Amino acid sequence: MKNTNSSPPGDGAGLLGEVEGTLQGHRDGHGFLIPDDGSTDIYLSPQETHAVMHGDRLRVRVVRLDKRGRPEGRVLEILERKKRPLIGRLLLESGVWLVAPEDRRMGQDILIPKNGIANATAGQVVAVELTEPPSLYSQPVGRVVEVLGEIDDPGMEIEIAVRKYDVPHRFSPETLAQAARLPEKLRATDLKHRIDLRDVPLVTIDGEDARDFDDAVYCEPFKQGRGKKAVEGWRLLVAIADVSHYVKPGEPLDADAYERATSVYFPRRVIPMLPEKLSNGLCSLNPYEDRLSMVCDMLVSADGTVTAYQFYPAVICSHARFTYTEVAAILANTHGPEAAKRGELVPHLLHLHEVYRALLAERHRRGAIDFETTETQIVCDDNGRIEKIVPRTRNDAHRLIEEAMLAANTCSADFIQGAKHHSLYRVHEGPTPEKRQTLQAYLRSLGIGFGLSDDPTPREFQQLAEATKDRPDAQQIHTMLLRSMQQAIYTGTNSGHFGLAYPAYTHFTSPIRRYPDLLVHRVIKGLLTGKRYTLDAAKMNVPQAPKRPGRAAPPNPAEARNEAERWEVVGAHCSANERRADEASRDVEAWLKCRYMRDRLGEVFAGTVSAVTSFGLFVQLDELYVEGLVHITELGGEYFKFDDVRQELRGERTGIRYATGARVQVQVSRVDLDGRRIDFRLVRDDEDSRHIARGAAPRPAAKAGAKQAARKRAPKTAVEKLEEVRQTDRDVKKSRKEVVAALHPVKAAQQAAKRQASKASKKTVAKAAPRKRR
């Protein structure tokens, strides 16, 4: 990289310096260069981005700095065009065929020659391959390579998302052929060198809609020694599907699994990491079927400490497939109908609950962060549209499985670290100094005296959450605590897990749907047989992972020279694909929610401000769990100033404040399906709106008014709007009279006497006038 001006490391090139990176487009036409070295992003004007597209690699020169020192660049060279089909709507405008990209960051429509539309028709969703890139004087040109269908076809939003985010969704012919050759059932050779646990009543506990079962659990009381030296606790077995037995390094199955790195979950559909024969068949711990597994066998003391553990390959047979709801009902009532159906397994479930309570107590002692957040589940109809959105309620069955998996994951990390073997760790770091200072300032602005140390611990965060949980703005505070922490990543360098307060942590428990777990299994298997697992060199043949905000640039695969660097490359690849899967899932959910709210235009709902920005408020509706934007122009006819410390908007004239957690009423005013955006308009039905805006609980009358307003199904008619204007005029005149009466009582009394005399004379004239015959 060239740089003609020296600058501090990480600050990027100075004025006239040259930087290489990837273009991140913006829907408004401009863009930002994301430098490869992790330095400051460089702004590119619409004129500079006209000849390039989102995702292209560029060399840029910094030509000026704005008042805040932010760099602006000029494109010098296009290093690499992003080669992939683009998804969009085929349109016919004035006899010209073009495709409007689904990803608005592309910035330009694509021209399609008449002989390039294939068999597509106007309005359909298509995939386009560029034949001519854009230039300073012309738009990009392409041809249709795939017709996906109509925009309203069931599941079309998923078809768009997997292509929009480059999610691999078709297995290679070699992978499918290899999967087809796998046996339907276990063979005698598969059972060699394995512990037979088929008589142990291991069970799976998952959600009602789960199809692949990664893990099975079993627990029994444990006692060692006699008298005062006796040790009591539990023996906890966590059996995980042995995917590594079927997916070997260097084979087509492994290549496709590594490319995907994770399964992607959409409403009503899953893009699996492994073919269905493995994910739902051979590797899934289905009830009453023999399955191969890797077992973490642990001894847990009465205080919740794991005192000993061992790993070994085994063959198991799940004795039951439980759901979270069923287990919660059994634990709540061991004599109920659910318990009666599973009588022989109820004692084992009770043992699992006992060890869970011990592990949970140890979690609190070590100070792990545990925020209770509301997760939602989208329920779709037969056409793939949202029927309703319901909150997911976490019960003791969810927490029981979570604690068992956490225990197995920490044991795997300890085992690998003790052997000094390279592996992938799940690392979650605490807040950066900048985020910590921002959080400190925010807490001081609220008058919270509980401060954070210069190097805060998870326990401090948990104590802060506990100390503020009964405040009316507790949700707002906990949101800010979460935002102050960094995202978890996969990396070959262990830095501990801040949120869980673990010195070392890996992912071991979901190899069917996560590639890092499969790698951890291979490492553990190698250590058990006295060998060391070495990464396949082919795994370095991947694109460089994108830079994440606030982090250094990920390693360049081409420069990975030793084993440690190779593990870093694999970790960056898996982390990037995890983010990609999350973005694709959120995109589909956003589209479905926009489609859902399009039928509710004009309706009024109560909601809570979930985030505050300089351009408006994000509000989540209480009844529907849908989020939308109230733009700052909708807040009233005054200037609102954004307070970054308090995270609120404050009106300069009235002093009205809007902060995270504030209660508001909004009307659905606009839905943009293409932009995945829902716009709200603030509704003020009465003076209680001021209390709502400040986050105070509205009076019962205001709540009743909100419910009545929520029943409205259409915007007001013209007659109703005219009457509303007239009523407003009458109110204004009345208020003016009251002001005059207060300031000039004598003058007001004289005017009132004149009006009274005028009314009396009019009545006298009306009585004296002759009546007309009817």
Phi, psi at 438, each rounded to 5°: -65, -40
Task: Please tell me the predicted confidence (pLDDT) of residue 198.
Answer: 96
Task: Please tell me the predicted confidence (pLDDT) of residue 92.
Answer: 92
pLDDT tens by residue, 547-606: 666 666 778 888 888 899 999 999 999 999 999 999 999 999 999 999 999 999 999 999
Q: How many CB atoms lie within 10 A of CB 397?
A: 25
Joined together, the tokens standing for residue 607 give 């909601």
pLDDT tens by residue, 483-502: 888 889 999 999 999 999 99
pLDDT band at 748 (very low <50, low <70, confident <90, very high): low
Calpha distance 19→32 (Å, rounded): 12
Task: Please tell me the predicted confidence (pLDDT) of residue 68.
Answer: 77
Residue tagged 């599973």 (tokens) = 342
Calpha distance 160→33 (Å, rounded): 26
Task: Please tell me the predicted confidence (pLDDT) of residue 549.
Answer: 60
349 Cβ contact list (under 8 Å, min separation 6)? 203, 322, 327, 330, 331, 342
Joined together, the tokens standing for residue 273 give 């990491």
Calpha distance 16→28 (Å, rounded): 26
Calpha distance 709→212 (Å, rounded): 45
Tell me the residue type at 14. Answer: G
Calpha distance 619→606 (Å, rounded): 9
Q: Which residue has the higher pLDDT, 516 or 774?
A: 516
Calpha distance 748→36 (Å, rounded): 75
Calpha distance 170→259 (Å, rounded): 11
**CA distance readout (Å), 77 to 21, 48, 51, 425:** 11, 11, 11, 38
627-631 and 640-643 strand pairing: unpaired
Task: Please tell me the predicted confidence (pLDDT) of residue 755.
Answer: 65
Q: Which helix (H) or strand (E) holds 316?
A: strand 306-317
Average pLDDT of span 687-705 = 42
pLDDT tens by residue, 164-191: 888 999 999 999 999 999 998 999 999 9
pLDDT tens by residue, 291-337: 999 999 999 999 999 999 999 999 999 999 999 999 999 999 999 99
Calpha distance 633→628 (Å, rounded): 15
Instruction: List beta partners, residue 204.
Output: 321
Is the distance from CB of 157 to CB of 269 less than 8 angstroms? no
Question: Per-residue pLDDT for 736 more than 80?
Answer: no
Residue tagged 């065929």 (tokens) = 97
Calpha distance 726→96 (Å, rounded): 50
pLDDT tens by residue, 44-95: 999 999 899 998 999 999 999 887 788 999 999 999 888 888 999 999 998 9
Calpha distance 516→525 (Å, rounded): 14
Tell me the residue type at 85. Answer: P
Average pLDDT of span 661-668 = 90
Task: Please tell me the predicted confidence (pLDDT) of residue 695.
Answer: 41
pLDDT tens by residue, 366-419: 989 887 667 788 888 888 888 888 888 889 999 999 999 999 999 999 999 999
Question: Per-residue pLDDT for 28 more than 90?
Answer: no
pLDDT tens by residue, 420-479: 999 999 999 888 888 888 888 888 888 887 778 888 889 988 888 888 888 877 777 888
Q: Which residue has the higher pLDDT, 703 or 119?
A: 119
Joined together, the tokens standing for residue 298 give 């642990």
Task: Please tell me the predicted confidence (pLDDT) of residue 722.
Answer: 59
Joined together, the tokens standing for residue 545 give 């992972």
Question: Per-residue pLDDT for 744 more than 80?
Answer: no
pLDDT tens by residue, 617-639: 999 999 889 999 999 998 888 89
Residue tagged 């002759």 (tokens) = 770
629 Cβ contact list (under 8 Å, min separation 6)? 616, 617, 618, 619, 677, 678, 679, 680
pLDDT band at 12 (very low <50, low <70, confident <90, very high): low
Calpha distance 728→731 (Å, rounded): 5
Provide the strand spans (E) within 122-244. Answer: 125-132, 141-149, 195-196, 204-206, 215-224, 231-241
First and final C-alpha spacing in the chain: 100
Tell me the residue type at 369. Answer: I
Calpha distance 450→427 (Å, rounded): 27
Is the distance from CB of 42 to CB of 32 less than 8 angstroms? yes
Total residue length of the chain: 774
Residue tagged 């760099």 (tokens) = 71
112 Cβ contact list (under 8 Å, min separation 6)? 90, 97, 98, 99, 128, 141, 142, 143, 144
Is the distance from CB of 53 to CB of 23 less than 8 angstroms? yes
Joined together, the tokens standing for residue 110 give 């694509």
pLDDT band at 747 (very low <50, low <70, confident <90, very high): low
Task: Please tell me the predicted confidence (pLDDT) of residue 492.
Answer: 94
Q: What is the 3-state secondary structure of 235-262?
A: EEEEEEECHHHCCCCCCHHHHHHHHHCE
Task: Please tell me the predicted confidence (pLDDT) of residue 482.
Answer: 85
Task: Please tell me the predicted confidence (pLDDT) of residue 647.
Answer: 82
Joined together, the tokens standing for residue 126 give 């298509």
Task: Please tell me the predicted confidence (pLDDT) of residue 1.
Answer: 38
Give me the percent of the chain exceeding a pLDDT of 90: 53
Listed range (1-5, 269-273, 581-585) with the worst mean pLDDT: 1-5
pLDDT band at 749 (very low <50, low <70, confident <90, very high): low
Question: Per-residue pLDDT for 705 more than 70?
Answer: no
Question: Per-residue pLDDT for 42 more than 80?
Answer: yes
Calpha distance 673→594 (Å, rounded): 6
Phi, psi at 303, each rounded to 5°: -90, 5
- Alpha-carbon Rg for the chain, nearest whole angstrom, is 32
Task: Please tell me the predicted confidence (pLDDT) of residue 691.
Answer: 40
Residue tagged 């085992």 (tokens) = 415
Per the rule left: phi > 0, alpha: psi between -120 and 50, beta: everything else, 165 is alpha
141-149 and 677-682 strand pairing: unpaired
The separation between CA 391 and the C-alpha centre of its own chain, rounded to angstroms, equals: 15
**CA distance readout (Å), 618 to 83, 647, 678, 684, 685:** 36, 12, 10, 17, 20
Question: Per-residue pLDDT for 686 more than 60?
Answer: no
Task: Please tell me the predicted confidence (pLDDT) of residue 375.
Answer: 79
Question: Per-residue pLDDT for 126 more than 90?
Answer: yes
313 Cβ contact list (under 8 Å, min separation 6)? 193, 194, 195, 242, 245, 292, 293, 294, 295, 525, 528
pLDDT band at 709 (very low <50, low <70, confident <90, very high): very low
> What is the residue-averaged pLDDT of the chain?
85
CA nearest neighbour of 114 among 127, 95, 131, 101: 95
**CA distance readout (Å), 602 to 149, 386, 750:** 31, 19, 48
SS3 assignment, position 754: helix
Task: Please tell me the predicted confidence (pLDDT) of residue 268.
Answer: 86
Instruction: List beta partners, residue 301.
Output: 233
In the Cβ-directed half-sphere of 180, how many Cα atoms lie within 13 Å?
Answer: 7
Give me the percent of the chain exceeding a pLDDT of 70: 85
